[in-house]
Amino acid sequence: MKKGKGCLISIIVVFILIIIIGALGNSPKDEKAKDNIAETKSESSVSKDIEKKDEKEKEDIKEDKKEDEDIVKSGQYQVGKDIPAGEYKVFSDSNNAYIEVSSDSSGGFDSILFNDNFKTFTYAKLDENQYLKLSNCYAIPVEKAKKFEDAEIKDGMYKVGVDIPAGEYNITASGNGYYEINNTPHDMMNIISNDNFTDNRIVTVQDGQYIKISNAIAKINN
């Protein structure tokens, strides 16, 4: 009976020792594993951040390149070959910007469809096989061009419904003033009204029309 009791006690002691050794053996490994997982996640996050930064830089380069492709700089171009046909907003680089659209490349006066000197911005609608000449200015497709946001409506060509709202305007000259309302930019055959003046003129414009103002300031009549 004593021998049996002694064996039982020995078994219990061994069992307890196994539990203690197991607990002591697993704990440091478990903690190290957790540390490694955290470090792995941290390294992964850093890698992802670097990848995201690289991707953003690539996207920025692509965006800059795309924006450059949208800008038609000073020079002469054949529409449909060098640049797409369509409507463009043309911005000046100086006070003596010049735009010219011709039916051919002969350089003859008869081939000029329209030309204009301007200080701020204007519009142009271009058809295939026409020729565009820009000097001290650049053109951007109208759907990608910045809209007019200034408070003061002065020298420039404005697209009604895009740059300024439709409505009645009081135009006051700041010298030898001029205004022109047109259905198509720079089309003499589609002029709705125009006038030279030194005082003021009251006009009404509708969406889709263009109004050109020179040496004058326009304010909407509320």
Q: Does residue 141 belong to any structural domain of this protein?
A: yes
Q: What is the pLDDT of residues 105-134, one digit of tens each?
A: 999 999 999 999 999 999 999 999 999 999
Domain ends where: 101, 118, 146? 146
Angstrom CA distances, 182 to 123, 186, 195, 204, stand at: 11, 8, 12, 12
Same domain, 177 and 215: yes
Q: In the chain, how many domains are there? A: 2
Q: Does residue 128 belong to any structural domain of this protein?
A: yes
Contact predicate 90/145, CB 8 Å: no
Q: What is the pLDDT of residues 25-66, one digit of tens each?
A: 555 533 433 333 234 445 555 556 656 655 655 455 445 545
Give the separation between CA 215 and CA 212, rounded to whole angstroms.
10
Same domain, 112 and 165: no
Same domain, 203 and 135: no
What is the extent of the structural domain holding 165?
150-221
